[in-house]
């Protein structure tokens, strides 16, 4: 496949509601959309960088900079053997996986379109719908949290993930468990704890959580292993797993029993699939995380989550959970805890060009 042209745009999009995690909050997203043109067709990707360097060191500005100054000029005009080979000229760039992933994923969409198949099929997906959950941000009061959870339960989500931080953890979750005794429920700490909090974290074992996600620092594989040893609740790693090497280390040490795969975090669909394969071979579950994406990124996540090892519900919620109006048609919907995997070619949903054009505040073109 030859990449003849690339276009990066910034599209501001306001979340319906403020979303707070242990490291801070967000409401006004700056969505970066990438299109790659080749052989008369166009592939779409989304660079899932956050607005601030909290979840990752990458931000909207570093994503824009690394893509426009280094990656896009190097990959345009070149013949590539396939989606992963598109990044061959920029292997020398250290890190910046979200920036690289945007290109790799747009190239997968393009490759699927060139083959005339859905992205799900191109990636090796085996499911026509995927189980989905929802991630609930930190709320000011327990009452507000219970109301949110009840609303999402009514919408049929297959599991509820609740953000926690020191001081808003065991008691808060125990109250939710009391009100919803059978609810498939988990917690995500986004690195808010240290191993010194082990006694507090052990109290979570009584709450029958599916898992606790990323309790400790992103770079603390050893202490995650020490913690997992003492917890009955499975530890799931998110921020820690940026590569296959990270997964190997985590499995060797026993740092987790579950992995949240976000294709942006690990550099694209290729590495996501390999992480999926390693986990599956060991009989360990994975699920697809989210980064508050627009419908473009969501379409990629749904396609990835249709692979057979994604056995747990993902953070792939309905478009209406995030946006007044999504950037794709049709919007993503949830019914009875499942989301349909689009069957059309490529990502299988149409980016709403008129809407995207009207919202775009910054644009860079190559080729
Ligand atoms: O840790 O999974 C996370 C959102 C932004 C940054 C990090 C995380 C999240 C979420 C929301 O939990 C997932 C989603 O619904 O897109
Ligand atoms: Mg997480």
Q: Based on the fold, state whether residues 161 and 92 are members of the same structural domain.
A: no
CATH, residue 78: 3.30.390.10
Q: Is the CB of 60 inside a 6 Å radius of any atom of ligand 1?
A: no
Residue 163: which domain range?
Answer: 122-350
Mutating to test ligand 1, I would choose from 55, 218, 320 the residue with most ligand atoms within 8 A of its C-beta, which is 55
Of 367, 366, 364, 359, the C-alpha closest to 13 is 359
Q: Based on the fold, state whether residues 134 and 245 are members of the same structural domain.
A: yes
DSSP 106-165: HHHHHHHHHHTSBHHHHHT---SEEEB-EEEPP-SSHHHHHHHHHHHHHTT-S-EEEE-B
| C-alpha to C-alpha distance for 188 and 168, rounded to whole angstroms | 12
Q: Is the CB of 313 inside a 6 Å radius of any atom of ligand 1?
A: no
- Ligand 1 midpoint to CA 292 (Å): 6
Closest CA to ligand 1's atom 1: 190
Q: Based on the fold, state whether residues 312 and 205 are members of the same structural domain.
A: yes
Reported as half-sphere exposure (CB side, CA atoms, 13 A), residue 300 has a value of 36
| C-alpha to C-alpha distance for 140 and 165, rounded to whole angstroms | 12
Catalytic residues: 163, 262
For residue range 229-239, list pLDDT tens digits in order. Answer: 999 999 999 99
Q: Based on the fold, state whether residues 276 and 315 are members of the same structural domain.
A: yes
R_g of the chain, CA atoms, integer Å: 20
Q: Based on the fold, state whether residues 94 and 130 are members of the same structural domain.
A: no
Flag residues of the chain having pLDDT under 70: none
pLDDT at 324: 98
Q: Based on the fold, state whether residues 103 and 147 are members of the same structural domain.
A: no
Could you tell me the pTM of the whole model?
0.98
pLDDT at 109: 98
pLDDT at 282: 98
| C-alpha to C-alpha distance for 207 and 233, rounded to whole angstroms | 9
CATH, residue 315: 3.20.20.120
Q: Based on the fold, state whether residues 161 and 221 are members of the same structural domain.
A: yes
Q: Based on the fold, state whether residues 195 and 99 are members of the same structural domain.
A: no
Q: Based on the fold, state whether residues 51 and 189 are members of the same structural domain.
A: no
pLDDT at 320: 98
- Ligand 2 midpoint to CA 367 (Å): 37
pLDDT at 199: 98
Q: Based on the fold, state whether residues 91 and 126 are members of the same structural domain.
A: no
Q: Is the CB of 20 inside a 6 Å radius of any atom of ligand 1?
A: no
Closest-approaching ligand to the CA atom of 137: 1
Q: Based on the fold, state whether residues 89 and 155 are members of the same structural domain.
A: no
- Ligand 2 midpoint to CA 190 (Å): 6
Q: Is the CB of 135 inside a 6 Å radius of any atom of ligand 1?
A: yes
pLDDT at 106: 98
Question: Per the structure, how many domains does the chain have?
Answer: 2
- Ligand 1 midpoint to CA 332 (Å): 17
Contact partners, residue 40, CB within 8 Å, separation at least 6: none
Q: Is the CB of 188 inside a 6 Å radius of any atom of ligand 1?
A: yes
Q: Based on the fold, state whether residues 191 and 287 are members of the same structural domain.
A: yes
- Distances from the Cα of 126 to the Cα of 91, 308, 337, 343, 350, angstroms: 31, 6, 18, 12, 22
Q: Which residues are registered as beta bridge partners of 286? A: 259
Q: Is the CB of 55 inside a 6 Å radius of any atom of ligand 1?
A: yes
pLDDT at 132: 98
């Amino acid at each position: 496949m030859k990449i003849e042209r690339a276009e990066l745009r910034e599209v501001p999009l306001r979340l319906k509601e403020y979303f707070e995690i242990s490291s801070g909050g967000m409401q006004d997203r700056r969505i970066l959309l990438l299109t790659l043109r080749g052989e008369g067709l166009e592939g779409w990707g989304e660079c899932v960088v956050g607005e601030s360097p909290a979840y990752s060191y990458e931000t909207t500005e570093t994503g824009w900079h690394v893509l426009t100054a280094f990656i896009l000029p190097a990959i345009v005009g070149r013949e590539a053997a396939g989606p992963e080979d598109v990044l061959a000229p920029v292997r020398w760039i250290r890190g910046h996986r979200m920036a690289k992933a945007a290109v790799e994923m747009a190239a997968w969409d393009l490759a699927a379109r060139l083959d005339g198949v859905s992205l799900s099929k191109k990636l090796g997906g085996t499911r026509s719908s995927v189980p989905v959950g929802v991630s609930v941000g930190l709320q000011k009061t327990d009452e507000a949290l219970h109301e949110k959870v009840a609303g999402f339960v009514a919408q049929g989500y297959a599991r509820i993930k609740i953000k926690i931080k020191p001081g808003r953890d065991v008691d808060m979750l125990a109250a939710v468990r009391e009100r919803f005794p059978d609810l498939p429920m988990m917690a995500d700490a986004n690195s808010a704890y240290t191993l010194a909090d082990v006694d507090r974290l052990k109290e979570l074992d009584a709450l029958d959580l599916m898992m606790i996600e990323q309790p400790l620092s992103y770079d603390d594989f050893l202490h995650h292993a020490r913690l997992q040893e003492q917890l009955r609740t499975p530890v799931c790693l998110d921020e820690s797993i940026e590569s296959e090497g990270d997964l190997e280390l985590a499995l060797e040490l026993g740092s987790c029993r579950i992995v949240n795969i976000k294709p942006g975090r690990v550099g694209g669909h290729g590495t996501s699939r390999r992480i999926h394969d390693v986990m599956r071979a060991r009989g360990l579950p994975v699920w697809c995380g989210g980064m508050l994406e627009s419908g473009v990124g969501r379409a990629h996540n749904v396609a990835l989550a249709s692979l057979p090892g994604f056995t747990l519900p993902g953070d792939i919620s309905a478009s209406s959970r995030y946006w007044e109006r999504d950037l794709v048609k049709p919007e993503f919907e949830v019914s009875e805890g499942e989301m349909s995997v689009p069957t059309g070619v490529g990502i299988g949903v149409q980016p709403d060009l008129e809407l995207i054009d009207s919202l775009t505040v910054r644009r860079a073109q190559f080729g």
